Amino acid sequence: MNLKQIEYITVIAEEKNISRAAKRLKVTQSTLSQGLSNEEHSLGVILFNRSQKGLELTEAGKCYLKAAKEILQIRDKLHHDIRLFSPCAGKHYIIGISSQTGFDLFSSRYHQFKEMYPEVSVKAIEGNAGELLGGLNMNQYAMILTAVDSFETVRLPHQSLCKEEILLAAPGDFKKKILSKHGNLNMEFIKNENFILANPGTTMRMTTERLFTSLGYHPTVVCETGHILALVKMVSKGIGFAILPETLKIEMENVRWISFYPKIYRSQMAVYQEKYAGDEVLMNLIKLLQE
């Protein structure tokens, strides 16, 4: 009997099904079945009755489960108490996030991070890139997650998290030919059209403005919004064009998503203060975000 086997059998009892229990524990069904068989053989009793309805605890199994839960509670309490002596105990990090992709990355890894460092507290604050970079320089944040189209604009320590393509959202019934015979986007045909842009100060707006500057013209802006769904709906109604990262692409009737040529990308990155460059907790959080 060991803690891993105890945890396995506890989950089997909760799920009443080897397949579901294996999926929850992230092990193979054969590993779980063999573990249960070995435990029953070691104890000399049957813990579960097998039937078409699933696995049901025997009386011996109910006794085992009661003790197993007590053992696991003692383990968890011990881990919690020991962590209070960890050098990470009481640490608090404020992280600024400027993009939807950044929030998606953070939320997808938050629980995994808290499993690694339950004694560490993290607070995420939304803001535009300019405000967050200013706050980072003033020690208001330990780290910010933001999007850039050039690493050269970032002076503080930073690491890339992911890369996302920038796309043009066009009304599906737009009559002009905006693609060349090779299927590439021809911006000349839309430079005088209406555009729906992200709010000023956002990383997406800055990327868009740099794109228009490189093309040598100023777009006619009919709406500025931070609501992506509303923006794409306006495109579907033929009100104008929009420029968005692929990660925010919303499939909708009467909206065409077109790549630029050559393709345009922006990078999501973690930017942090110099003093955190060797911080174990923050560096491990960045590694999680990069997975």
CATH number, domain containing residue 145: 3.40.190.10
Q: 18 lies in which domain range? A: 1-83
Cα separations in angstroms, 275 against 45, 139, 231? 58, 10, 40
- What mean pLDDT is predicted for residues 87-112? 87
Domain check: are 62 and 107 in the same one? no
**Overall pTM > 0.85:** no
Domain check: are 154 and 272 in the same one? yes
- What mean pLDDT is predicted for residues 102-117? 91
Domain check: are 170 and 184 in the same one? yes
Rounded to a whole number of angstroms, the CA Rg of the chain reads 27
Domain check: are 130 and 182 in the same one? no
Residue 182 banded pLDDT, cuts 50, 70, 90: low
Q: Which of 83, 107, 123 is the last residue in one of the domains?
A: 83
Domain check: are 199 and 215 in the same one? yes
CATH number, domain containing residue 230: 3.40.190.290
- In 3D space, the residue among 223, 234, 222, 195 whose CA is nearest the CA of residue 211 turns out to be 195
Q: Which of 48, 67, 83 is the last residue in one of the domains?
A: 83
| pLDDT at site 205 | 87
| pLDDT at site 84 | 65
Domain count, the chain: 3
Domain check: are 198 and 112 in the same one? no
Domain check: are 147 and 271 in the same one? yes
Which residues share a beta bridge with 124? 95
Q: pLDDT of 121-139, one tens digit each?
A: 899 999 888 889 889 989 9
Of 58-67, 128-137, 164-173, 180-189, which range is least confident? Answer: 180-189
CATH number, domain containing residue 69: 1.10.10.10
Pairing of strands 220-225, 194-198: parallel
Domain check: are 277 and 136 in the same one? yes
| pLDDT at site 272 | 95
Q: pLDDT of 140-179, one tens digit each?
A: 999 999 987 666 667 789 999 999 999 999 998 775 566 6
| pLDDT at site 65 | 94
Domain check: are 247 and 284 in the same one? no
Domain check: are 127 and 181 in the same one? no
Cα separations in angstroms, 192 against 59, 92, 176, 241? 78, 50, 12, 11
Domain check: are 68 and 210 in the same one? no
Domain check: are 12 and 76 in the same one? yes
Q: Is the pLDDT of residue 15 over 90?
A: yes
